[in-house]
Amino acid sequence: MQFALLDILVVVVVAMSALLAMVRGFSREVLSVASWLAAAAAALAVAVWDDPLTPVVKTYIANNTIAMIVTISIVFILVLILVSMVTMRISDFIIDSSIGALDRTLGFLFGAARGVLLFVVVTGMFNWLVPEGQPEWIAQAKSKPFLDNLSKQLIASLPEDIESFVDIGKGIISGEEPPQPAPETDEKGPATIREEQRNELDRVIEGETKQQ
């Protein structure tokens, strides 16, 4: 059985990711992801709501878009550093405890899954950019059908209106108002309008008759 270059890359990268996660430990890997998520949430909060930092940055940077990007970057980096300092202490305590061996074993599995996920995302993007005429070392790889299947499942799990979220994000960075949904209109045909007018006229005539 011959292996293509893609197969070798998958094995090497997944193995390196698994070994690195085993050395660091499962708790440190998970808390590291939590640190990035916390930093991203803080940056998103700055982008969506008014904050005291943005006006200060705008005094030095006239362009609103660049000022917003700088503000988001500062908040993201600061929160990432602060949360990482806390999570590192927690993970060190767990690794040095009695469950350290279990933590490293789970870290190995987590790292392997992370490596596979990386190739799944890259494969999906590559298939989208190069749907036909892919290099032989990719198209003929034994791992290609497996990665393609996982990539399709990942894409199917994404929300249908993901493009609208991307547009909203672009609008926030550029300082534009997010697009508002069009107001619902009560579309009625000419026949329906004439019927309503006739009924209204009948009610008016009936009211005048009663007054007489």
User: Is the predicted pLDDT of residue 120 greater than 90, yes or no?
Assistant: yes
155-179: buried (b, 16+ CB within 10 Å) or exposed (e) per residue? eeeeeeeeeeeeeeeeebeeeeeee
Specify the pTM: 0.63
CB 80 within 8 A of CB 35: yes
DSSP string, 17-46: HHHHHHHH-HHHHHHHHHHHHHHHHHHHHH
Count the helices and strands in the chain (H runs, E runs).
Answer: 9, 0
CB 178 within 8 A of CB 172: yes
pLDDT classification of 118: cutoffs 50, 70, 90: very high
CA pseudo-torsion sign 54, 55, 61, 65: positive
Q: For residue 68, count CB atoms less than 10 angstroms from its CB and return exposed for 0-12, middle for 13-18, buried for 19 or more.
A: buried
User: Is the predicted pLDDT of residue 21 greater than 80, yes or no?
Assistant: yes
Query: Diameter of the chain by CA atoms?
Result: 102
CB 144 within 8 A of CB 3: no
DSSP single-letter state for residue 176: P
CA 45 to chain centre: 15
> CB-based contacts of 159: which residues, under 8 Å, 6+ apart?
165
Domain ranges of the chain: 5-185
Most confident range, picked from 9-18, 149-158, 200-209: 9-18
Residue 27 vs residue 194, higher pLDDT: 27
- Comparing 23-27, 29-33, 130-134, which segment has the lowest mean pLDDT? 130-134
Instruction: Report d(CA 168, CA 121) in Å as an integer.
Output: 23
